[in-house]
Amino acid sequence: FKNPPIIQESGRFEPAELAVEQAYLLEEASTTA
């Protein structure tokens, strides 16, 4: 399992970054579905 670049750089979970990435993934899934 490889961590996303954002998490690798910071070395810890960033709530804001995770929220943005989560929203992006959800939007991608909804548009492609």
Tell me the per-residue pLDDT of 1-33, one tens digit each, with 9 for 90 and over: 565 655 555 556 667 777 888 888 888 888 876
DSSP 11: S
Q: What is the distance between the alpha carbons of residues 7 and 4, in angstroms, rounded to a whole number?
A: 6
pLDDT in the model for residue 29 = 86
pLDDT in the model for residue 14 = 65
pLDDT in the model for residue 6 = 56
pLDDT in the model for residue 30 = 86
From residue 18, how far is each of 1, 3, 7 by CA, in Å?
17, 12, 9
Question: Side chain identity at 20, as an amino acid letter?
Answer: V
